[in-house]
Chain A
Amino acid sequence: ELKVEQNPLFLSMQEGKNYTIYCNYSTTSDRLYWYRQDPGKSLESLFVLLSNGAVKQEGRLMASLDTKARLSTLHITAAVHDLSATYFCALNQGGKLIFGQGTELSVKP
């Protein structure tokens, strides 16, 4: 059974700082997703990573995938308040998405 674990679960950052969210998973999967969720809202797709070594960047967010280590990272560069949200990673297992616990990010001035 696929297990997906994120850490940290809560992250309070100062604006301008860098930090990384980690997503570990227990069995192989053909694709890994990162989503953002704002309070009271549904999921917004950020990245989909398909292969080992894949790296994708959008603005201040960069996601990478290491399939050998079964690890994905979401790196935040020079955080701004607008990035405050909950971030989820999810993996495909037989067509279903299995989600991590989520990382609640709070960026403070």
Chain B
Amino acid sequence: GAVVSQHPSWVICKSGTSVKIECRSLDFQATTMFWYRQFPKQSLMLMATSNEGSKATYEQGVEKDKFLINHASLTLSTLTVTSAHPEDSSFYICSARDRATYEQYFGPGTRLTVT
């Protein structure tokens, strides 16, 4: 149980284009999901908290117009990187908080490369 999937697992896009990453909780409901970014050899940095049916809360320094988050259902949150630039290349990991147990479970991550 407690499986979180992410799609795609890796993506390459050209500078200036947008890319959408999906995060799904497969066997539990998640009113809250979190989006993290991890650069090589660094720790995970929380970007934003996604709440079902409401606007996401962004951490300081994260551009909300660049990283669009939608959490339209209890099992799906999406992160759209708009007008991507090479410096947005990173490993993006989502986690979903089980509404019943309050525990967080991590997705397998999405590696984004912007050329």
Q: Are A42 and B107 in contact (CB under 8 A)?
A: yes
Interface status of A41 (Cβ within 8 A of chain B): yes
Q: Are B34 and A43 in contact (CB under 8 A)?
A: no
Q: Are A95 and B97 in contact (CB under 8 A)?
A: yes
Q: Are B109 and A42 in contact (CB under 8 A)?
A: yes
Interface window among A14-22, A57-65, A73-81, A96-104: A96-104
Q: Which residue of B lies closest to A94 (CB)?
A: B49
A-B contact count (CB 8 A): 38
How far does the alpha carbon of A41 sit from the alpha carbon of B45 in the complex, in Å?
Answer: 16
Q: Are A96 and B46 in contact (CB under 8 A)?
A: yes
Q: Are B32 and A95 in contact (CB under 8 A)?
A: yes
Set of chain A residues within 8 Å of B106, measured between Cβ atoms: 35, 42-43, 45
A37-94 at interface with B (beta carbon < 8 Å)? 40-43, 45, 48, 88
Interface residues on A, range: 10 to 19
The 8 Å CB contact of A99, one of B44, B105, B108, B109, is: B44
How far does the alpha carbon of A40 sit from the alpha carbon of B17 in the complex, in Å?
Answer: 24
Whole-angstrom distance between the Cβ of B24 and the nearest chain A Cβ: 14
Binding site for A on B (CB under 8 A): 32, 34, 41-46, 49, 93, 95, 97, 103-109, 111
Binding site for B on A (CB under 8 A): 35, 40-43, 45, 48, 88, 95-102, 104
Query: Could you give 10 example pairs across A and B, Cβ below 8 Å?
Result: A42-B109, A43-B93, A45-B105, A95-B97, A97-B46, A97-B104, A99-B43, A99-B44, A99-B45, A102-B43
